[in-house]
Amino acid sequence: MTLFAEAAALDAADPLAAKRAEFDLDPAVAYFDGNSLGAPPRHVAGRVATVVREQWGGRLIRSWTDAWWDAPERVGERIAPLVGAAPGQVVVADSTSVDLFKVLVAAVRANAARSEILLDAATFPTDGYLTDQVARLTGHAVRRVPVAELPAACGEQTAVVLANHVDYVTGRLHDMSAVTRAAHSAGAAVVWDLCHSVGAIEVRLDEHDVDYAVGCTYKFLNGGPGSPAFVYVARRHQEWFDQPLAGWAGHADPFAMEAGYRAGAGISRARAGTPDVLSLLALDAALDVWADVDLALLRTKGLALGDFFLRCLDELLPGADVPTPRDHARSHQISVRVPDARRIMAALHDRGVLGDFRPPDVLRFGLAPLYTSYAEVLRAATTLAALT
């Protein structure tokens, strides 16, 4: 069977194929950057227009109590099943960077007698920047360790471990269970960055006994540019969760305007500032597409898309340098190293294949199972082969 026939057969048999119609996609473009910015679900624009017209324009200030104030918790409950969390442990608030700062400081404060923070050596840059700043503020040392070596590196001075669930450059999926168990055995807490896994693969925070997690919503969750991030705080930590950004939104009675701070109950204490209502409610609308999605089926298709991409590369571009694992220890992206990668990605864009470039030489192709087709995968591989 030719690759073209195989792509057609796989698309015809795809149980998620109907989902593509729920997204506003240009048929002339093959989109492979959902791991940076997800495509917009078609109904989101109309929902946001309704919020502007009826809530902001019609109810005005009354919408804070009618529809807006509790939205961070309500939308968090919609994300909870996507990260394997029981109710009451996820809230949508602020940005990933802000949320990461909150949970890192809280984790260090809870383990104050210990002197070091272990950090994923290949972490997304902002995680490293923030960890260094937290260490400066708290007097801790930062030790950068490859994720595979984190279990052995955890020791009696480790206060907290911060790791990315998925390596953003290669797409490698790390072993959440093993790292978390090892950290706990050493008396340390764990923070997981889920930005490149939520909405792509099944995440099981409760099952793996995770302490804290943060994640963005504008990648595979399709919440829109700058949509707010989410925080997971395991229920067992919430009573003493002592985060450093004591803003009014996390206050036990925010509209009482008290002079002193009293942390709110439960996951609400992870909030800080005033929520970005329009982005938050755009995310709320975008999450509708997940209502009937079987996450196991999503994972199966994501891996199948990657397997097909690898077969296409093997046939069309033999010997390609692919840092993404060929086994299934990966998320839903395929990365390829090529000389002059920036120019090659620009040329791919000119030909309607939208992936992204990561310095110095990596082309990333995100595979969003809700809307990526096998025919698009073949188009990407064919176009890449013609350019290299």
Indicate which residue of 78, 172, 269, 364 is catalytic.
Answer: 364
CA contacts within 13 A on the Cβ side of 158: 25
Q: What is the 3-state secondary structure (H, E, C) of 200-211?
A: CECCCCCCCCCC
Compute the CA torsion angle 124, 129, 133, 136 (nearest 10 deg): 100
Specify whether 167 is catalytic: no
Do 356 and 382 touch, CB atoms closer than 8 A? Answer: no
Out of 19, 114, 219, 379, the active site residue is: 219
- 354, β-bridge pairs: 31
Which is catalytic among the residues 23, 31, 124, 168? 124
Number of neighbouring beta carbons within 10 Å of residue 41:
24
Residue keyed to tokens 């340390």: 188
Asked if residues 231 and 99 have their Cβ atoms less than 8 Å apart, the reply is yes
- Tell me, yes or no, if 342 is annotated catalytic: no
The position carrying tokens 């790292």 is 179
Alpha helix (H) residue ranges in the chain: 3-13, 44-50, 63, 71-79, 96-110, 125-138, 150-153, 176-185, 235-238, 277-286, 295-316, 341-350, 374-387
> Out of 23, 31, 101, 218, which one is annotated catalytic?
218
Q: How far apart are CA 384 and CA 336, in angstroms?
A: 10
Point out the catalytic residue in the list 14, 193, 211, 356: 193
Residue 5 is given by DSSP the state H
193 is catalytic: yes
Q: Which residues pair with 90 in a beta bridge?
A: 232
235 is catalytic: no
20 is catalytic: no
- Catalytic residue IDs: 124, 193, 218-219, 364
